[in-house]
Amino acid sequence: MTRLLLASAAAGAMGWGIRGQYGHETGAMIAGLLVSLVIVGTLRPRAPVAWAMRAVAFGAIGVGFGGAMTYGQTIGLTQDAALVGNVAALRWGLLGLGIKGALWIGFFGACLGMGLGTTRYRARELALLMLALVAIAVVGVWVFNEPYAPADRVLPRFYFSASWYWRPDVVDLKPRREVWGGLLLALATLGAYTRWRGDRLAPPLLAWGVLGGAIGFPLGQCLQAFHAWHPEVFRSGAWVVYDPYINWWNAMETTFGAVMGLCIALGAWRSQNTIASPAAWPTATEQGRGPWLSPGPEWAGLTAHVVLLLIAEFTDVPVLGRYADVALLMGVLPLALAAEGRWSPAVIALPVTLLPIAGKTVRRLVYEQHAVGAVVGWIAYAVLPLLVAGVVAWWLVRADATRTQEGRPVRAALIACTWLYFGLNFAFFDFPWPWAAWTTRTIHAMVFGACAMVLTTHALTRAPRTDPA
């Protein structure tokens, strides 16, 4: 148990900390991927690779849904210079972060549980379910996040971003649109649906995710808010030396990630008797003839998802660009494909999750900072990482899905993902080697390096046999 909790906390801390450089939905999938790999590889080390990667893909997809929520101005309520000393604003901001964190990680827990449990969800069922959740989220926004007319200074009653209630003196305030009410109603519906389906794992993991997010986000922000509220503390002692090099925003993120990873792992460990056992895993004969999607529809679906994802992340196409903004809509295709696709779980979890991260790294280093030439930058930060992820995904699919292999394929995937994301982020940080002149990136690069070492050690150490007979 201790190994599981430590590795999951390290995976969450590193993944969520790296997420901060890359954005909401697709960035959050890094943490979901790493935590899911740790949990699946530890609690079911003898599981067939196909089953394991389906669960990992479900977790990685699920954690992206909460990325639709805005939270920067919510954090501002707890630390903006004009609000420092305003205890009511601090409490309101922390409450908002607790709600948003609970919803964000609640989806992660629910989806990971759907992949790990004994209840079998089919592709068509999940596609229809996700489309229904999109419609329910629209209703939730209308109920909880309206009216929204900032031009008339009219905002929702329960509003956790910048408002004239807290800053009546600011003329050009720009309140952000909030959608947490939509995700609240959608998550409640998802929990009710999984319970109705007889799923014994998804509802408990949803609850553990809600707990991890509700604690982790405010707790992490308390560190950053304390720094803003009490600057005098950091003007003496060792803080004088180290404070200029601490990225307090990253400190908030890594704390949030560590807490959420620990809570999800603890929930999975406590509910491990409801995780699918070897008796429930398909046999070689069953896996040989299905239930897979036929190759044509599967690859067409994967291609459509990748194209829409690239358009949403890297272009300004008016309608298609909304694909990533409506996070629940972005989950329709990948969840359906991961449920019954032969290649989709590994492809979605590895190269597809990596694709926007590699693209943003290239955009940053090649086209914004001009730190490296286009040819070298594309090869180093896009082609090679995606090639590695693709080869690992191919190997996972080709691996014997009916023999135990003691979790070797999943553990190898964890090592590959750990160092791929660490390496891209290290480049994004402008290579802050500890022996070079320190910057605000140096300390967190070392933190991520320590987390990567924990995950590598965990992956190289054979997990105890926790699979039931």
Tokens representing 392? 């690992």
pLDDT digits (tens, 9 = 90+) for 160-188: 999 999 999 888 899 999 999 999 999 99
Residue 48 pLDDT: 86
- Report the alpha-carbon distance of residue 449 to residue 469 in Å, rounded: 37
Closest CA to 119 of 267, 272, 266, 275: 275
Residue 20 confidence class, pLDDT cut points 50, 70, 90: confident
Q: Please, are residues 270 and 28 in contact by the beta-carbon 8 Å criterion?
A: no
pLDDT digits (tens, 9 = 90+) for 378-430: 999 999 999 999 999 999 988 754 454 556 889 999 999 999 999 999 999 99
Residue 237 pLDDT: 84
Residue 402 pLDDT: 46
AA letter at 184? L
Residue 144 pLDDT: 96
pLDDT digits (tens, 9 = 90+) for 106-124: 999 999 999 999 999 999 9
pTM of the model: 0.94
Longest CA span, the chain: 70
pLDDT digits (tens, 9 = 90+) for 282-336: 544 444 445 567 888 999 999 999 998 998 888 877 766 666 667 888 899 999 9
Residue 353 confidence class, pLDDT cut points 50, 70, 90: very high
AA letter at 402? T
- Report the alpha-carbon distance of residue 44 to residue 469 in Å, rounded: 11
Residue 289 pLDDT: 44
Task: Work out the angle between the directed axes of helices 72-79 and 87-116 (0-180°, nearest 10).
Answer: 140
Residue 304 pLDDT: 94
Residue 23 confidence class, pLDDT cut points 50, 70, 90: confident
Give the start-end residues of each E strand in 306-369. Answer: none
Name 346's bridge partners: none
Residue 323 pLDDT: 67
pLDDT digits (tens, 9 = 90+) for 203-244: 999 999 999 999 999 999 999 999 999 999 998 888 888 999
- Report the alpha-carbon distance of residue 65 to residue 324 in Å, rounded: 10
Residue 463 pLDDT: 62
Q: Please, are residues 356 and 306 in contact by the beta-carbon 8 Å criterion?
A: no
- Report the alpha-carbon distance of residue 201 to residue 194 in Å, rounded: 9
345 preceded by cis ω (within 30°)? no
Residue 45 pLDDT: 87
